[in-house]
A = this chain, B = another copy of it.
Amino acid sequence: MIRSVFLLVSSLALVPAAAAATDVVKVIKHPAYQKSVAVLDREHDRIVADIVTLTEIPAPPFQEKARGNAYLEMLRAAGLGDVEMDEEGNVLGVWRGTGPAGGPMVAIAAHLDTVFPAGTPIKVRREGTRLSAPGIGDDTRSLAVLLGYVRAMREAGVRTGRDILFVGNVGEEGPGDLRGVRHLFTKGRYKDRIKTFFSMDGTDGKRIVNGGVGSRRYRVTFKGPGGHSYGAFGLVNPMTAMSQTVVDLYRITPPKTPKTTYAASVTGGGTSVNSIPDQVYMEFDMRSVSADALAALEKQFLGIVAASVETENKARSTREGPISADPKLIGDRPAGGTPEDSALVQMARRAVEAHGLEPELTASSTDSNLPMSLAIPAVTIGSGGSGGRAHSLDEWIDVEKGASLKGMLPGLTMLLAAADLR
């Protein structure tokens, strides 16, 4: 469904997204682009310094404010206009293009939040060109690279046809559940103006995420009367209903294309070894690149939960009360995708190739999921250099200047192409 929407969009001459973009080759040959690259080269140390500064301001899920405030001042200092923190905590700044006010925008975002809980010690350790600290690559480097772009574009006298919205957004990681971009696209002041979206996430400069793996996550609590394991034997047991749910879920063979998956992942509950539990829970993860396949799987799953409860209530005594199940949605990331043959993905491929890299198209779960689910062209790209061990305490990036700088250029090229470099 989404695919057909995009084919339609890219064939309509009136839609500016595809029509007005500047060709990648023209961008790369443009003197203002080349001057921007020279500034990035000269300012590389400053970008690295910004990475360190921002990394050392903790930004756990739902506690991104301190880092957001710092980033806001940095965007302002870099020269953007209308710099603000929105109601959700996203930090926004506008690069004005030459077009009329209120026209279509290109947005580029890096996320402020990390997976690390409050209290995690965060101090950047430097060994040669390798910097280690929780969150440094995911996604703090990208925040600093966006600042570098703004300063370079400004100093190089870049002029774009369109406005560019620079964003440091909240809520990309796990429990944040894409709340930052969700606000941006459904409630924020620019929600109807953003026609192209780049999420800069991670380091790999040749990776283009054009598939948005959607997910629906549940924590299901199964309850019953409980009782003594010997004295009350024969009463319904919520553990049995929960187990039946897992067994029946794992009998489903989901489609391989579009790739659709499930997992019974985390469990807990029970009173003591000699008690029938009154409450147990399990967490389930369902994912698909197709919203329809995901919805179909979710429906099957909820049917299995209900049937398992019914089976247990029929199999044993409910004289002290029946089993019930309470499925609570704890994660909701819309599925979506920007087609391979769309103008945006084609352009992104050419931008990566133009810098001598081999593009890798993949599907993942990133901030781009949200615009993709709204049929807004979006891709997630890297900020350059290399890195590893994301989501672990020994997360690291390498800022060796050659690879670090080279990896920043596809992103800048795409951004200026999409924003119609003049």
Contact = CB atoms under 8 A, between A and B. Distances in A.
A328 to B, nearest CB: 12
Contacts of A14: none
Contacts of A273: 174, 217, 219, 265-266, 283-285, 330-331
- The winner among A219, A250, A259, A282 for most chain B CB atoms within 10 A is A250
Nearest to A219: B273
A201 B277 CA distance: 26
Contact of A243 (B246, B263, B274): B246
A239 B261 contact: no
A276 B250 contact: no
A333 to B, nearest CB: 10
Contacts of A229: 261-263, 265, 285, 287
- The winner among A215, A263, A264 for most chain B CB atoms within 10 A is A263
B276 A265 contact: yes
Contacts of A285: 229-230, 273-274
Contacts of A169: none
Contacts of A239: 246, 264-265, 267, 282
A213 B276 CA distance: 17
Interface residues of A, number: 47
A63 interface: no
Interface string A241-255: 011111100100000
A343 interface: no
Contacts of A233: 259, 261-263
A283 B270 contact: yes
A315 interface: yes
A264 B240 contact: yes
Interface in A203-245: 213, 215, 217, 219, 229-230, 233, 237, 239-240, 242-245
A272 interface: yes
B240 A263 contact: no
A268 interface: yes
A280 interface: yes
A186 interface: no
A174 B275 CA distance: 12
A134 to B, nearest CB: 16
Given A239-B246, A242-B243, A250-B237, A263 B274 contact: yes
Nearest to A308: B247
A171 to B, nearest CB: 16
28 contacts: A174-B272, A174-B273, A174-B274, A229-B262, A229-B287, A239-B264, A239-B265, A239-B267, A240-B247, A240-B264, A242-B246, A243-B244, A243-B246, A243-B247, A243-B264, A250-B315, A263-B275, A265-B270, A265-B272, A265-B276, A266-B272, A267-B267, A267-B268, A268-B268, A273-B283, A273-B284, A273-B330, A273-B331
Given A243-B243, A250-B315, A265-B272, 4 more contacts: A233-B261, A237-B264, A242-B243, A268-B269
Q: What 6 A-B pairs come out closest when comparing CB atoms?
A: A266-B270, A233-B261, A243-B246, A243-B243, A229-B263, A239-B264
